[in-house]
Amino acid sequence: METESVKYCTFEAAGRLFGVPLIDIKEITAETNYTCIPHAPECVSGYVNIRGNIILGLDLKQILALPAKEEDVSKRMVIFKSTVGPAFGLLVDEIGEIVSVSSQDITSDSTSIGSELQGLSGLVQNICRLPNQLLVVLNPRKFLPIIEKELYQPSR
């Protein structure tokens, strides 16, 4: 291929398609045995044990304030590499395909994002034009600062 392309791992949350750069991902797990952490912000699902390491799970839908469905059972967690942040992962509804997007189809213009995501500026890294829909690419480095901020301003 002539043009450069980036690979994204896509996943669904509340019926929407999101993605994160594949290069940031360490692994994907189906472990759902969470221990909830009192006093932590709402969007923290809790701790989970992945082969002896304790990983902090964050709930994507809570962070994005997307509606949660009752029957969400088959949750998966995308765990990020330690270069992204210490031992954490993102809970999503469903893992989608890995897509390869050529650089010309990636925009960093966030004005086209739905209004409910506007408040979380910085969290959205790019929008990609896929053949049949748009892919919202999230910046995984922005997740932990969000919960830290929330801990320091509990009134929010």
Partner 1 sequence: MVNTPHADFVLESREHLQLLERSMLALEKATSPEARNACIDSSLRAVHSLKGNAGFLGFQSVQRLAHATESVLENFRNHVHSPPIAVVEAILLASDRLSSMIEDLGFSESHDISELIKTLHALAVDTSDPVQNAPKNVIPINLRMPSPPASVVPLLDSIRTLGSLRESQLTQVDLQTPTANWSVAELRLQGRLHTDRSVIEVQRHLSQTGAAVPWRDLGANEISGLNAQQLLQHLAAVQGELVYEPTRLDLGLPVQPIVWNQAVSDLPIQPIVKVTPIVHVTPIVHVTGSPTNHPENIQPKPIQQVDETVATTPPVKTSSNELVIHQEPIASEDRKEIVSKPTGDAATNSSPTEKTTSLRIPVDLLDRLMNLVGELTLIRNQSLLAFEEIEGTSRAVIQRLNSVTTELQDAVLKTRMQPVGHLFGRFPRMVRDLARQLGKQVELVMVGQEVELDKTVLEQLSDPLIHLIRNSIDHGLETPEVRIRSDKPSVGRVTLSATAADGQVIIEIRDDGRGIDPNAVRAKVLALGLKTEAELQKISSKELYSYILLPGFSTARQVSDVSGRGVGMDVVKTNVERLEGSLTIDSAPGMGTSMILRVPLTLAIIPCLIVTVGKERFAVPQRGLEEIVCLHPGGESFIEHSYDSELLRLRDVLLPVVRFSEALRCKSTFCAETKLAILAANSPADRDPQRIEYILVLRTKGRKFGLLVDDVRGTEEVVVKPMHPSLRKIGIFAGATLMGDGRVALIANIDGIAEHADCYGVEPPQSSGILNRDPAEVHRVLLFEFGPKELFALPLVQVRRIESIAMNQVEYIGDQAFITIDGVSTRIIRLDKFLNVSTCEQSPMMHLLLPKFVKEPVGILVSRIVDTESLSIQMQEASIEDPGILGTAIVRERLTLFLDIQYLREGIFGRARALSTSQSREVGLVSSPQVKATLDVVPHILLVDDTPFFREVVRRYFERDGFVVTTAIDGNDGMRKLAEGDFDLVVSDIEMPNLDGWGFCQAARKAGYKTPFMALTSLSKTENSARAIECGFDGFEEKLDHDRLIHSVRKMLGLIAEEQQDGN
Torsion angle of alpha carbons 35, 62, 99, 8, nearest 10°? -70
Which of 6, 13, 17, 56 is in the footprint of partner 1 by CB under 8 A? 56
To partner 1, the closest distance from the beta carbon of 43 in angstroms equals 11
Return the number of the residue (46 or 96) whose C-beta is nearest partner 1. Answer: 46
Tell whether residue 90 is a contact of partner 1 (CB under 8 A). Answer: no
Under rule CB under 8 A, residue 38 binds partner 1 = yes
Q: Rounded to whole angstroms, how far apart are CA atoms 84 and 140?
A: 7
| # binding residues, partner 1 (CB under 8 A) | 27
* Chain residues 115-144 in contact with partner 1, contact rule CB under 8 A: 144
Chosen residue from 52, 67, 119, 131 binding partner 1 by CB under 8 A? 52
d(CA 37, CA 49) in angstroms, rounded, equals: 14
CA distance 134 to 124: 13
SS3 91: strand
Which of residues 43 and 136 has its CB atom nearest to partner 1 in the complex? 43
* Euclidean distance between CA atoms 113 and 46, whole angstroms: 29
Task: Work out whether 23 is an interface residue with partner 1 (CB under 8 A).
Answer: no
DSSP-assigned letters across all residues of 31-54: ----B--TTS-TTEEEEEEETTEE
Residues that bind partner 1 (CB under 8 A): 33, 35-40, 44, 46-49, 51-54, 56, 85-88, 144, 147-148, 151-152, 154
